[in-house]
Amino acid sequence: MPELPEVETYRRQFNKSVKGRKVVDVELLFEGVVRHPSPRAFVRRVKGKTLGEAERRGKFLIIPLDSGDILVLHFGMTGVLHYLDPDEERSPHTRAVLKLDDGRELRFIDIRKLGALYLVKGRDFSKIPELANLGVEPLSREFTLKRFTEAIGGRRQQLKQFLMRQDVIAGIGNIYANEILWEAGLHPLKSTADLSPEEIQRLYKAIRKILKEGVQLRGCSIEEFLDLYGRPGRYEERLKAYQREGEPCPRCGTKIVRITVGGRGTFYCPKCQPEPG
């Protein structure tokens, strides 16, 4: 699933290459990709409109139109967004195409059909509860050590699952949760209630460091992610734990092991990230 660094990559590239373009036509190859309003209304309200400056909230890409409507994209597990010439071969998993006034196309591609497009009036995100209820942005000024400590206080939850709670911290998914915990030297099953002040500080610093690196390297393409221009991100080269089962830990040489937490593959070093208790 595209996480914060991948969606931030889309935001930056969109604002560089697509912002200000007019949508001359809309093609829905899979009408189910539009979750609100109806597919017919979506096409009518997007066609002929100019795309404004994109924002990002968590894993959502938010694009205002000059009509006052806002286009919201959520990429699900396998969604990608490409800005391509019309003669470039279309993926069989292309679900929606916005044809632009520069002759190019903005294509939403999604193998598993879990991604979604929404069109809302103003900033009324009530039709998208996952967006309306997002927590703090971890790379923002609002994400301070004090606020993070307060968010942990009183909770008793496994660290891996806590990091992926979008209503607490927006944008962290499975890949970066694994990398953050490795960086902080904390076991994924350790409880938030058992963290010392020093461990909370290590975790806070790891969140900001790993996500910043992910953004700088245009995301991670170990899964299906490709950037707006169809290029892979480079963060895969930095992975220390995720999908590294059986490989030596870059810090101590112990073999990385894999367990399942919340139904998701979880990777850690048993020496650097000792089991709780």
273 falls within a domain: no
The DSSP secondary structure of 244-261, one letter per residue, reads: -TTSBPTTT-PBPEEEEE
Q: Token pair of 261, please?
A: 């937490």
The number of distinct structural domains making up the chain is 2
- Listed residues 77, 100, 132: the one ending a domain: 132
The range of the structural domain enclosing residue 9 comes to: 4-132
Please tell me what DSSP assigns to residue 116: E
Please list, in sequence order, all residues whose beta carbon lies within 8 angstroms of the beta carbon of residue 249, skipping any fewer than 6 positions away: 240, 241, 255, 256, 269, 271, 272
**Catalytic residue annotation:** 2-3, 59, 264
276 falls within a domain: no
- Listed residues 103, 132, 161: the one ending a domain: 132
- Listed residues 83, 105, 132: the one ending a domain: 132
pTM of the entire predicted model: 0.97
CATH code of 226's domain: 1.10.8.50
For residue range 167-200, list pLDDT tens digits in order.
999 999 999 999 999 999 999 999 999 999 999 9
For residue range 73-85, list pLDDT tens digits in order.
999 999 999 999 9
Q: Token pair of 58, please?
A: 């968590």
Query: How sure is the predictor about 1, in pLDDT bands with cuts at 50, 70 and 90?
Result: confident
For residue range 95-126, list pLDDT tens digits in order.
999 999 999 999 999 999 999 999 999 889 99
| Partners of residue 99 on adjacent β-strands | 25, 105
The DSSP secondary structure of 151-189, one letter per residue, reads: HHTT---BHHHHHT-TTTBTT--HHHHHHHHHHHT--TT
